[in-house]
Chains A and B, each alone.
Chain A
Amino acid sequence: MAGLPEHLLRRSAEAKAKATGRPVEEILAELKGEAPPPAAGAPSAGSGPVRDLAKESADLGVPEDLLRRAMIARAKKDGTPIPGEPGAAPVAAAGTAPVAAGSPAPIPTIPEGVRTQRLLTVVKAGAIQQTKREPADKVNTWPHLLAIEFVALLVLTGLLFVFSIYVDAPLLEFANFNQQPNPSKAPWYFLGLQELLSYFDPMVAGIIIPGYGLAGLAFIPYLDRNPSVRPSDRKLAIMIFTFFVMGAAILTTYGSFFRGPGFNFTFPWVDGIFFDF
């Protein structure tokens, strides 16, 4: 068959042989369109009417070996003798053929049973981009992951609901712009910054530190060039990050619970807690 590598043909023939129980070589030859199947009882080559395959091939634009293969297959299917070909050694029955060798029958436009579509090419393995995936230890998202997520979601909803039944959100008196409460504190997640504000100039505490902090945070992946994810290889990175997280946590706690009226230092267990969520 046109352009098909030998090993593919052989593999195909072997599979076919296994399925039909016929010898491999016979099928292989048949696939190549070289020899007719010599099976007992089957009509032998050249016993049918003569067809000039070379000419048909030129007229139809179908490769000659495809035509030959189709011709053989058709003859086999119908049980009719396989047409002979000019130039091929005539078999004994040639004389009895309706049309004598050398004067081919009128060529039908497209012989019945001949496929007009063609196999253009077989792309060999490795010729196109190959994506190889490392075999990974994976589990089905359902049920393994979804079950966990569902339980987590239920537990969170339950906890939040029960907590909300017993603890009310704060609501102080109506907003009064003429009476600033003492102390007045920002929401808890800004209290670290408010704490810094009592040490530094607003420019430093309110802009430079949080600005650089946020930018530094965003740029971590581009600053940390260490490819390893093992904690033992990342001691410096972990140390720096932990330092800042702990710093923020300490400042926030300090600003939340250890600052009383006038934002002065206070012990929460002495003067009470000046903090609202």
Chain B
Amino acid sequence: MSGKDKGGIMSKLAETGQHIRSSQAWSSIFRPGSPFRDGYSDTPRNRSYVIMNNVLYHLHPVKVKRHGVRLSYTLCLGGLSFFLFILLTITGIFLMFYYRPTSPQAFLDIQALATDVTFGQVVRNMHRWGAHAMVLTVFLHMARVFYHGAYKPPREFNWVVGIVLLLLTLLLSFTGYLLPWDQLAVWAVTVGSNMGRYAPVIGDQVSFALIGGTQITPDTLLRWYVLHVLFLPFVIVIFMAVHFWRVRKDGGISGPL
């Protein structure tokens, strides 16, 4: 008896599901070929649709060169750099909820992450180790591209964009280094930014503008915080967009050796 009822409910559910899937709202959300629309069957047409009707189409073409897919060719370094950037954005937003860039408070907030905030310490750890990892993957990506000669025409300009991205990555890491406002942060940044002071003609001015004075003060903290969470991410996203766009415009990933 109950089995019969259950069957009735199941068929009702299936009917409702079918009704939802055929609604205008549903098909406006999921473009043709989406597995959520009519189910996914593995056909060349659907394989193309998955990319074409997806925001990923901005990043990847429908087809890529077979050799470029080999892990041993790219080692995924560029992709992982980008992914680390996303991971750092997510963990960074989390940290921003608990951080105030003022003089003793910044340090106290970082301390509080370890004691008062659920998952605070592990998220801060991920942010820090992820940042170091990103410097490393960006550098290794550059080395990979060099050894494959992938900077040669028509990809010369994208190499230059890549160098800008490397520089921005270093700046992002360096500005973030100050934010814990402990002895390590303050003195590492002092040593690091002292080097820039020797730049000819504009060295003093650049240094003054960057650290907001002649030496590192709580004003520097606010300034570098804004650079770290807003200005530099904004700039790097623009350069990343150009970088990814040029990869595709220049004919996709470079050819095999």
Interface residues of A (CB under 8 A from B): 136-146, 148-149, 152-153, 156-157, 160-161, 163-165, 167-177, 179-181, 184-190, 193-194, 197, 202-203, 205-207, 210, 214, 217-218, 220-222, 224, 226-231, 234, 237-238, 241, 245, 276-277
- Within B89-134, the residues touching A (CB, 8 Å) are 104, 107, 110-111, 114, 121-130, 132-133
Give the residue of A152, A193, A203, A228 whose beta carbon is less than 8 angstroms from that of B79.
Answer: A152
Question: B residues within 8 A CB of A189?
Answer: 135, 170, 173
Contact flags (1/0) for B220-245 with A, using CB distance below 8 Å?
00000000000000000000000000
B47 at the interface (CB under 8 A from A): yes
Q: Given A171-B110, A171-B111, decide whether A149 and B79 contact each other with a Cβ distance below 8 A.
A: yes
A-B contact pairs, 8 of them (CB 8 A): A153-B80, A160-B133, A169-B129, A177-B215, A186-B188, A221-B159, A229-B257, A238-B147
Question: A residues within 8 A CB of B83?
Answer: 152-153, 156
Q: Is the CB of A146 within 8 A of B60?
A: yes
Give the residue of A141, A170, A206, A207 whose beta carbon is less than 8 angstroms from that of B62.
Answer: A141
A173 closest partner in B (C-beta): B183
- Give bound CA distance, A229 to B148, whole Å: 6
Q: How far is the CB of A168 from chain B (nearest CB, A)?
A: 6
Q: Is the CB of B191 within 8 A of A217?
A: no
Give the residue of A164, A187, A229, A276 whose beta carbon is less than 8 angstroms from that of B122.
Answer: A164
Q: How far is the CB of B149 from chain A (nearest CB, A)?
A: 3
Q: Is the CB of B198 within 8 A of A202?
A: yes
Give the residue of A136, A148, A152, A193 whose beta carbon is less than 8 angstroms from that of B65.
Answer: A136
- Give bound CA distance, A43 to B55, whole Å: 61
Give the residue of B66, B71, B156, B186 whose beta carbon is less than 8 angstroms from that of A139.
Answer: B66
- Give bound CA distance, A210 to B196, whole Å: 10
- Give bound CA distance, A139 to B216, whole Å: 54
Question: A residues within 8 A CB of B80?
Answer: 152-153, 156
Question: B residues within 8 A CB of A237?
Answer: 149
Q: Is the CB of A221 within 8 A of B160?
A: yes
Q: Is the CB of A145 within 8 A of B126?
A: no
Give the residue of A141, A169, A175, A210 whose beta carbon is less than 8 angstroms from that of B64.
Answer: A141
- Give bound CA distance, A145 to B67, whole Å: 11
- Within B67-94, the residues touching A (CB, 8 Å) are 67-69, 71, 76, 79-80, 83-84, 87
Q: Is the CB of B160 within 8 A of A144?
A: no
Q: Is the CB of B173 within 8 A of A221?
A: no
B17 at the interface (CB under 8 A from A): no
- Give bound CA distance, A136 to B254, whole Å: 13
- Give bound CA distance, A117 to B143, whole Å: 61
Q: Given A160-B126, A180-B187, A214-B167, decide whether A229 and B173 contact each other with a Cβ distance below 8 A.
A: no
| Stretch of B7-15, B19-27, B174-182 at the chain-chain interface | B174-182
B60 closest partner in A (C-beta): A141
A161 closest partner in B (C-beta): B126
- Give bound CA distance, A59 to B36, whole Å: 59
- Give bound CA distance, A234 to B147, whole Å: 9
Q: Is the CB of A141 within 8 A of B186?
A: no
B249 at the interface (CB under 8 A from A): no
Q: Is the CB of B199 within 8 A of A207?
A: yes
